[in-house]
Structure formats: C-alpha cells, structure tokens
Amino acid sequence: MSYSLYPKVFEEAHEKYKKYGSLCSLPTKNFFFGMEPREEIMVEIEPGKQILIKCLAVSSANEDGYRTVFFKVNGENKYVDVKDQSLNVSKEENIKADPESDDEIGAPLQGLLYKLLVKKGQEVQENDSLFVIEAMKMETTVVAPKVGRVDSISLKEGAMVVQDDLILTLV
C-alpha cells in the first residue's frame, strides 16, 4: 500500500533499511536531527537490551567535508567520521587507471608528476622510461610494460597525483 501511494519515498526508505537495518528503535528527534553535544539517549535494540549513547563532541569539518563525532556507548568512548551532507564540498580527483589493463599506465605512488619522457603518438619499447614521479625528494621512473604507441596523456607535468591516477594510455 505504501509503495502504491508513495513509490519514491518507499524506495528510499527500503534502500536505507537494506543499508542500516531497522532504525525504528531510535527516538524520532534524534533520527531526523541527530544528537546535540552532551545529549544522552537510551536505545532499546531488542526486548530487554538497551544501550546508553551519549554524544560528547562534534569536530569542525575538514577539507573533505567530514566531521569526527565523539560519543560513548555504554560508557565506552568511540568516534566515527561522518560526511556532512549540508556542506558543498567538491574535491577534484583524477581518472584512475584500470588495474586489469596493460594499456593504462597509472601513478605507482602519490607525488608530483615531475617529468613526462614521452609524447602522444611516440612508439615505445618494453622497459622504455615513460614518466618520473617525485615524492619526498626521491624520483621514481615508470617504464613501459610492453611494446606500443602512446595513445593519450591524461595529466601534465607538475600535476599532483595519488596512487593509480591515470597518466597515459598505450595502444
């Protein structure tokens, strides 16, 4: 009946049920608005079993939009990082190389794409140097895993990369 009257609301509620389980034991105010620092609630997880939850503090958001929530569950200190959905934080990420493909060459570690040693369309042999990553004052040269031609270069020299960011593609 709920689905026929409100299909979108029902589907959203069902997805949350599959992800989190039954949340009906949470107080309505806390379900919708969360807990305030120093607020304490009692939650019955099944008949005869209750847990005491106390919110201790909530940190300010970091650059990725996450806040650390410190709380006690039955007197034991815990914390969890939670993404603050009310903040519009966008983080630019590079395309990742497919680990299953020999054609896509990614960064082996986080660092600076210090130097590209090939150009688009250039023929390369197995073990030819492709690019150099600089991390912590050390340079790592990445070599071609096979014979091929450079089809595309995804990033420019001077770009900051993290592990598995796609640098170039061979064909």
pLDDT in tens, 80-114: 999 988 888 777 788 999 989 889 999 999 999 99
Q: What is the average pLDDT across 38-52?
A: 92
The pLDDT value given to residue 63: 85
CB count within 10 Å of CB 167 equals: 25
The pLDDT value given to residue 151: 96
Question: Which domains are delineated in the chain?
Answer: 7-83 (3.10.600.10), 104-170 (2.40.50.100)
Dihedral sign from CA coordinates of 146, 148, 150, 151: negative
The pLDDT value given to residue 16: 87
More confident call, 131 vs 20 = 131
The pLDDT value given to residue 21: 86
